[in-house]
Amino acid sequence: MSKSVTPKSQDYSKWYTDVITKAELADYGPVKGTMIIRPYGFQIWENIKSIFDKEFKKTNHTNAYFPLFIPKSFLNKEAEHVEGFAKECAIVTHSRLTVNEEGSLSPDPKSKLDEEVIVRPTSETIIWSMYKKWIKSHRDLPILINQWANVVRWEMRTRLFLRTSEFLWQEGHTAHATEAEAIDETHKILNIYKDVVENFMGIPLTVGRKSNS
């Protein structure tokens, strides 16, 4: 296989892609920017997911699942939050297809949705709309929920595993009675990330507050 891999010194980007595709970890999907994770690649993901899941559950987090579709009005409430990826949102406008006069498929005008639906670019808005419903008093806290899901962001420049239009991930959403408990939760999870990445995956990293840039 090494003979058909572009030398790293010649083209670093091409070398990376060659390694991924020729090792049969992933391939390009039929829709631009999408990725098909092949069995070898998915086994790596399953191993990583299994390790993280065990560590999260040790700290009393439980898994749940929230819908892929988010009402556009939910994102309007969080306009500042979604500003960074608003241009990358996939939008559902109709609920079914019909055969047009040319004999090809097109959205059925009669099925136009009253409110457009966004295909999950993140889950904060829908999760917190439910937390607002579920939390009646401090006795309902803390809520420690984790979600294993996919995310869709219509990326213009994509690269296998690093940046694709749809990707798999984990997101924790917790609610606490005090700010101190929330900060403690942040540090606890950050240390889990650090431990797994360094001690299980063998990748050195630097932990710290994200800069403004």
Q: How would CATH label the architecture of 15-69+120-200?
A: 2-Layer Sandwich (3.30)
| pTM attached to this predicted model | 0.88
Residue 60 has pLDDT above 90, yes or no: yes
Q: Where are the alpha helices (DSSP H) in 11-167?
A: 12-22, 39-58, 72-77, 79-82, 124-134
pLDDT tens column, 86-126: 788 999 999 999 999 889 999 999 999 999 999 999 899 99
Q: Can you give the pLDDT at residue 2?
A: 59
Instruction: Tell me the domain boundaries of the chain.
Output: 15-69+120-200
pLDDT of residue 81: 65
Q: Under the phi-then-psi rule, with left for phi > 0, alpha for psi from -120 to 50, and beta for the rest, what region is 161?
A: left
Nearest to 146 by CA among 122, 181, 170: 170
The mean pLDDT value of the chain amounts to 93
